[in-house]
Chains A and B, each alone.
Chain A
Amino acid sequence: MAEILRLEQLAKHFSSLQVLKGINLSVEAGERRAIIGPNGAGKTTLFNLISGELQPTSGRVLVEGRDVTGKPPNQMWAAGLSRTFQKNNLFFQLTTYENVRLAMQAHRGYAHRWFRSWRSLHGVNDQTRDILVRLELWGRRDDVVKNLSYGEQRQLEVAIALAANPKLLLLDEPTAGMSPAETARTIEMLAALPKELTVLIIEHDMDAVFSLADRIAVLNYGEVLADGTPDDVKRDPKVQEVYLGV
């Protein structure tokens, strides 16, 4: 399979604090890769470097072999990389529908049209509906997002990310703060994502990690401690020591 994402010696320092100390990682197209590690291991910083929210101190990010290091988020989004945020980052005063529709009209290149009504863009509206139906948010389409449950808001994060029809999807703790029932439903939903989509997922829920991931990378103090199949990682003595707590 083709390599879709490659990180070479990726490092990030905040003044004297080395949050990431040279990460090397290779992700194949269609892979489900989980990134786990204790709090402060640098997982979210790693996502921020990949998606362009932060500039790396050194190292390179390659998507499908192209160097995209330090490109701003809007260019990464356009290049087929979209992400969700650990903390819900939504349009809380707008409807569920409008949240996804805004992402969809940008992805399909209609956002700057200024004379025709948004209602006349049937392609945008049809695909917005498809995504909302798939993520079980269609029933909430006319509700203002601040009135959704926390779990529904987490799902909406994923819906917005999917609206860009990405090749590579970064999910930052999609089940954080969810009830067990919501978590189970979200795992199911994520498992049903199209096979050709590559997913990087930061997650603390080990059930979610072991049921979704093809491979797992373990981060600890800004370094890759282990990288392999779920079974390899589970048996790794270093991982057991620092993380799984066996």
Chain B
Amino acid sequence: MAQSPSSPAADESQGPSGAAPARDPLSLPGLAHKRASDIPYAVAFLALLVFPFVTTGYPLTVLTEILVFGLFAMSLDVILGYTGLPSFGHAAFFGLGAYGTAVLSAKLGISNLGISLLAIVGLTVVAAAVLGWLAIRTAGVYFLMLTLAFSQMIFAAAQKWTPLTGGSNGLPGVRRPTLFVPGLVAADPRAFYLLVLAVFASSFFLLHRLVTSPFGRSLIGIRENEVRMRAMGYNVKAYKLTAFVIGGAFGGIAGLLYAYFNNFVSPSDVYWTASGTVLLMVLIGGAGTLVGPVLGAAFFLLLQNALSSLTERWPIILGAVFVIFIMFVRNGLVGIWTQVSARRG
């Protein structure tokens, strides 16, 4: 192989490098049709930005909740959809974020967003690093059981550590956060919504960069063929652990927003059914697509809201819809979209 050892910096130069063989227009495969344009994202963001000035009240509350759970589902997508790690305990990080925020606010009187963000990211990074270090040594159903067991430990702590967590009654009295500057409070629904949107949008931006980067591509490689990746020189464990920690930290941030949103946390936010719910959101929307899980969260919450206002037996109908989805709609809502747009050419 006669390759000139070029310096790393040379690789990153923008535009065609002079000495390289003439780059034909097709030299980046898939560039033409796979480079998803950023325009839909910009349009969606603008719509979300304008929304609270068009309508408030109940629709805005629902949309706020969708963004919170959309972030939660995206964070699981990094672990499950991209890296292929079957985590069934993602509510642990959501719960740590929510309870951490609630304890800070209701017990210690600290509702500064900057402080709680730092605390929650620190807490969930440490928790995800410890759990991940153990869990990535296993695979498949053992990984699933370990993550489930860990989340049930967090649930037990929430349930039993009454002085700190309020026990099974939950912890009320979480106040809306003050922003980084003291005195500025995101108190009214519109201001709080805009805060949630800001956190959601910046998280989406960061995670989107992540999954289209060489690192994100490596995660997909690990999902597809871990043995081959190892044989190609990848330190697979380190990649898995990093992805797990990143997912855990963003899950914690979602929990933080949720505590502020609800002004209340309860053990059911950490229960294994919460892990199941976010798993469904990811699968319904389309795992490994990042935007899919957000759509999945929206679909789940809207359907739940609509059905529960119609009948008390809504969980049965909801369950049937999910069974149909998992069985017949392979890549979720995003899969439907790509198939339809492919058929239209």
Contact = CB atoms under 8 A, between A and B. Distances in A.
A31 B100 CA distance: 63
Q: Which of A93, A101, A129, A162 is most buried by chain B, counting CB atoms within 10 A of its CB?
A: A129
A119 B210 contact: no
A165 to B, nearest CB: 5
B6 A74 contact: no
B11 A124 contact: yes
Contacts of B35: 119
A179 interface: no
A14 interface: no
A72 B218 CA distance: 19
A73 B28 contact: no
Contact of B233 (A106, A141, A162): A106
Interface residues of B, number: 44
A118 B232 contact: no
Interface in A99-133: 101-103, 105-127, 129-130
B81 to A, nearest CB: 13
A91 B17 CA distance: 30
Nearest to A97: B29
A25 interface: no
B330 interface: no
A178 interface: no
Given A125-B28, A141-B29, A164-B233, A91 B221 contact: yes
Contact of B231 (A73, A123, A125, A162): A73
Given A91-B224, A95-B29, A105-B217, A197 B1 contact: yes
A122 B234 contact: no
A113 B215 contact: yes
A145 B215 CA distance: 21
A74 B231 contact: yes
B212 interface: yes
Q: Which of B27, B214, B217 is most buried by chain A, counting CB atoms within 10 A of its CB?
A: B214
A122 B12 CA distance: 6
Interface in B214-234: 214-218, 220-221, 224-225, 227-234
B212 A117 contact: yes
A242 interface: no
B233 A194 contact: no
Q: Which of A102, A106, A125 is most buried by chain B, counting CB atoms within 10 A of its CB?
A: A102
B30 to A, nearest CB: 5
B228 A89 contact: yes
A126 to B, nearest CB: 5
Contact of A114 (B13, B210, B234): B210
A130 B21 contact: yes
Interface of A: 51, 53, 72-75, 77-78, 83, 89-95, 97-98, 101-103, 105-127, 129-130, 141-142, 160, 162, 164-166, 194, 197
25 contacts: A73-B233, A74-B230, A74-B235, A77-B232, A77-B233, A89-B228, A89-B231, A91-B224, A91-B228, A92-B225, A94-B220, A95-B29, A97-B29, A102-B229, A108-B11, A110-B11, A114-B209, A117-B212, A118-B212, A118-B217, A122-B17, A125-B28, A126-B20, A142-B30, A165-B3
